[in-house]
Amino acid sequence: MTARVALVSGGTGGIGTAIVKRLTSLGHKVATNYRDEAKANAWAAHMKAQGVNVAIVPGDVGDVSAAESIVKAVEHKLGPIDILVNNAGITRDTTFHKMSALQWQEVINTNLNSCFNMTRPVIDGMRNRKWGRIIQISSINGQKGQYGQANYAASKAGMHGFTISLAQENAKFGITVNTVSPGYVATEMVMAVPEDVRAKIAAQIPIGRLGDPDEVAYAVAFFTNDEARWITGANLAINGGQYMGW
Ligand code: CAA
């Protein structure tokens, strides 16, 4: 396996951490961004103690110029970016009739506008070098919708629209663009759902449990392989069987 440079946005979160660990274990040089310096330093120290070396750079992916700075800082530390995982995401769950403009905008900005912000500064380099892997971490709820998540579901469905367009434009340049759509994985984000609501959701999962973050990271690593070069524009559901749309 060729060692590559990978940037995983939101790498300090539940699924992000698992992706960072798995890509480093494959020999890639991995970086992530952060917004909270103290939290990120503690996280990086914790990673180091486990033998995981990860570069951390400050910046909010929802901001165009901050995203450019993230990419520049990572390229300065590790070299040109070969693998981009657009993983950073937030929720602001509420039924639509109660939703504020801010709750709508924050979610669309962090989850969807970030895909433009982060991908735009890396795409030219990938095209010039004729190799790239871009992976969007979407959600089951972008595929099926979710009561209380009009903002989040719209952002996550939008991410796959981004994937399938970018996949077409960059296929000739050795760049694949794919989406991974996790279901309910045991992370802080899912644990923030009220317990009674969460129990009802868990009961709808045929495999009978929430997902493990590493079960998502496994699929992300799969798409980064050289041998995955003919797979582009795919949307891979990883949800314990909760939603089997096709
Ligand atoms: N289908 C139908 N009705 C539903 C429903 C559903 N799925 N969920 C809630 N309701 C109903 C309730 O039964 C209740 O009905 P009654 O008033 O008749 O008793 C009513 O909706 C409550 O509505 P409210 O407007 O009062 O809602 P609320 O303020 O109490 O909160 C909510 C509603 C915020 C949507 C809450 O139910 C919730 O948090 N739901 C979970 C949303 C969710 O799945 N988020 C995923 C977060 S994790 C993530 O996003 C990661 C990922 O990618 C999977």
Q: Give the start-to-end residue ranges of the domains of the chain.
A: 5-237
In this structure, what token pair is assigned to residue 180? 């991974």
Residue nearest to atom 25 of ligand 1 (CA): 95
**Within 10 A of 138 (CB to CB), how many other CB atoms are there?**
29
Residue nearest to atom 22 of ligand 1 (CA): 95
Strands 175-182 and 132-137: parallel
pLDDT mean by block of 10 residues, the chain; 246 residues: 94 97 98 96 96 97 98 98 98 98 98 98 98 98 98 98 98 98 96 93 96 98 98 98 92
pTM score, whole prediction:
0.97
In this structure, what token pair is assigned to residue 152? 């989040």
Catalytic residues: 152
The reply to whether ligand 1 has any atom less than 6 angstroms from the CB of 9 is no
Over residues 28-82, the pLDDT tens digits come to 999 999 999 999 999 999 999 999 999 999 999 999 999 999 999 999 999 999 9
In sequence order, what are the beta bridge partners of 58?
34
Q: How many angstroms does the Cα of residue 144 sit away from the middle of ligand 1? A: 15
Has domain 5-237 been given CATH number 3.20.20.10? no
Residue nearest to atom 2 of ligand 1 (CA): 147
C-alpha–C-alpha distance, residues 91 and 160, integer Å: 18
Q: How many angstroms does the Cα of residue 34 sit away from the middle of ligand 1? A: 30
pLDDT at 245: 85
Q: How many angstroms does the Cα of residue 242 sit away from the middle of ligand 1? A: 17
Considering only CA atoms, which of 181, 175, 178 is closest in space to residue 162?
178
Identity of the residue numbered 228: A
The reply to whether ligand 1 has any atom less than 6 angstroms from the CB of 110 is no
The reply to whether ligand 1 has any atom less than 6 angstroms from the CB of 194 is yes
Residue nearest to atom 13 of ligand 1 (CA): 197
